[in-house]
């Protein structure tokens, strides 16, 4: 029975992977690549290469949806052909009947996690680099212009609010030296400093910044200049974080969990609560996404085993509705997590938890 149901689940699953990933990559990448070929002169061979590199991102998104489609189509077909009635007449429980679907969804969960950690981030980054090289705008391994860093501290009125502690701006960066720097320092109570410098480098031995050809303006609380100091070379004890941030150009879709965690550590040094929440939510999403396969497998199987006579087209339509509802809820909770209404953990896991509760409820109802 297990081998038979597993065979029945396999074909719809691969059909779903092909269908959903084709739809996703057509909307998310193919149309844009065609536009690049026709308008920007992107070579067709490079467009095909970029297309192949973007494919893992959409395949991994198709895994949960394909799990839902395959379980719903398979068990609906078994129910329509009265095969489930025969199995239950032999004393086989509903929970035992859907066991192959749960095992399949767990295997797909592991496969999704491997894709998200080992394949998809590297492929996305390589696709971005390949496209930029082809368009003569190769992205260096660091941010070249407008390095902007804000560091926050608790408000002086002892409230939960944050206030700006230090603002760091560099007009240009060549990988070693920053040029055209302006630093606003509000870290000392009642005394503000403005540092303007032509260039600055980081001294790894002393863990300090070396500023060259600049001026330090010390501003009194009443807004007047208390002191002005010009210098040729000045060491300043400022955080290294701007250099670390300038050295990273990947976005969250191009990072695995370890890389995203390192990025979160950098952002935490700034004290920017909104950015911290955003990265915490993104990391939790990377953990939560694979387990959607288990939720969809349980929900699809529980709906499919109910006595009914539905076509494959109906199963496909119901799957689309469930998928749309789940990802809409996920989008809403993630937005709530980023603004602080929900914790990052709850924002990422709430749709999965609600889906699990719905799956268990449907299973118990179908078992009666």
Report the sign of the C-alpha dihedral through residues 291, 293, 299, 301, in that order.
Answer: negative
**Eight-state DSSP code of residue 119:** I
Give the 3-state secondary structure of residue 212: strand
Strand partners, 182: 169, 196
Query: Domain residue spans in the chain?
Result: 2-137+278-367, 145-245
Contacts of 76 (CB under 8 A, 6+ apart): 303, 304, 308, 310, 312, 314, 315
Could you tell me how far CA 316 lies from the centroid of its own chain?
27
Listing from the earlier edge strand, what are the strands of the sheet with 225-236? 145-154, 162-173, 177-188, 191-203, 208-219, 225-236
Query: What gap in Å lies between CA 345 and CA 326, rounded to an integer?
Result: 17
> Contact at 8 Å (CB) between 290 and 298?
no
Please give the pLDDT value at position 35. 86
Judge whether 106 and 294 are in contact, CB under 8 Å.
yes
| pLDDT for position 311 | 61
DSSP 117: I
Pairing of strands 191-203, 177-188: antiparallel
Q: Which residues are bridge partners to 214 per DSSP? A: 197, 231
- Helices marked H in the chain — which ranges? 2-25, 31-35, 44-80, 83-89, 94-97, 99-114, 120-134, 241-246, 257-270, 273-288, 292-304, 312-338, 344-367
pLDDT score at 308? 65
Q: Which two tokens stand for residue 273?
A: 């609560």
Exposure string over 350-362, b if 16+ CB within 10 A, otherwise e: bbbeebbebbeeb
- Residue 83's pLDDT is 83
The count of other CB atoms within 10 Å of the CB of residue 293 is 25
Which residues partner with 172 through β-bridges? 145, 179
**∠ at Cα 180 (178, 184), nearest 5°?**
100
Name the one residue in this structure whose structure tokens are 């295997």. Answer: 107
pTM above 0.95, yes or no: no
- Confirm if 141 and 239 have CB atoms less than 8 A apart: no
- Beta 162-173 vs 145-154: how paired, if at all? antiparallel
Q: Does residue 232 contact residue 213 with C-beta atoms inside 8 Å? A: yes
First to last CA, the chain: 21
Measured from the Cβ of residue 110, the count of other Cβ atoms closer than 10 Å reads: 11
CA distance 28 to 59: 12
Residue-wise pLDDT tens for the chain (368 aa)?
889 889 999 999 999 999 899 988 888 888 888 888 888 788 888 889 999 999 999 999 999 999 999 998 888 888 887 888 888 778 888 888 888 999 999 999 999 999 999 999 999 988 888 887 777 665 666 777 788 888 877 777 666 677 788 888 889 888 888 999 998 888 777 678 888 999 999 888 888 899 999 988 888 766 666 778 888 888 888 888 787 777 666 788 888 899 889 888 878 876 678 888 889 999 999 999 999 999 999 998 888 887 766 666 677 778 888 888 898 999 999 989 888 889 999 999 999 999 999 988 988 887 77
Position 248 scores a pLDDT of 62
Query: Rounded CA gap, 344 and 283, in Å?
Result: 9
Total residues belonging to the chain:
368
Place of tokens 């799990």: 67
Taking the C-alpha atoms of residue 68 and residue 321, their distance in angstroms, rounded to an integer, is 11
């Amino acid at each position: 029975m297990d081998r038979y149901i597993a065979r029945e689940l396999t074909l719809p699953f691969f059909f779903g992977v092909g269908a959903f990933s084709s739809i996703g990559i057509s909307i998310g990448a193919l149309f844009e690549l065609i536009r690049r070929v026709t308008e920007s002169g992107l070579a067709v061979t490079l467009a095909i290469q970029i297309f192949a590199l973007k494919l893992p991102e959409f395949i991994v998104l198709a895994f949960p949806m394909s799990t839902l489609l395959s379980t719903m189509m398979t068990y609906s077909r078994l129910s329509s052909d009265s095969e489930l009635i025969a199995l239950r007449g032999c004393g086989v429980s509903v929970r035992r009947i859907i066991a192959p679907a749960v095992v399949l969804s767990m295997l797909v969960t592991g496969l999704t996690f491997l894709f998200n950690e080992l394949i998809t981030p590297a492929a996305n980054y390589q696709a971005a680099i390949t496209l930029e090289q082809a368009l003569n705008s190769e992205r260096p391994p660091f941010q070249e212009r407008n390095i902007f860093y804000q560091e926050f501290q608790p408000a002086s009125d002892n409230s939960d609010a944050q206030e700006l502690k230090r603002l760091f701006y560099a007009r240009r960066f060549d990988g070693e030296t920053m040029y055209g720097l302006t630093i606003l320092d509000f870290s000392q109570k009642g005394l503000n400093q403005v540092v303007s410098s032509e260039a600055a480098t980081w001294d790894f031995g002393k863990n300090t910044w070396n500023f060259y050809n600049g001026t330090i303006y010390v501003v009194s609380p009443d807004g007047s200049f208390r002191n002005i100091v010009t210098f040729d070379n000045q060491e300043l004890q400022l955080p290294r974080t701007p250099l670390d941030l300038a050295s990273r150009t990947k976005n969250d879709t191009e990072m695995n969990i370890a890389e995203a965690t390192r990025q979160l550590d950098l952002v935490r040094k700034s004290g920017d609560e909104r950015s911290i929440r955003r990265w915490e939510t993104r990391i939790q999403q990377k953990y939560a996404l694979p387990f959607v396969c288990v939720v969809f497998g349980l929900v699809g199987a529980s709906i499919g085993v109910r006595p009914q006579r539905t076509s494959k087209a109906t199963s496909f339509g119901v799957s689309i509705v469930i998928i749309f509802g789940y990802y809409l809820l996920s989008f809403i909770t993630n937005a709530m997590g980023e603004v602080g209404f929900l914790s990052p953990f709850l924002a990422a896991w709430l749709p999965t938890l609600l889906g699990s509760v719905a799956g268990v409820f449907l299973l118990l109802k179908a078992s009666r």
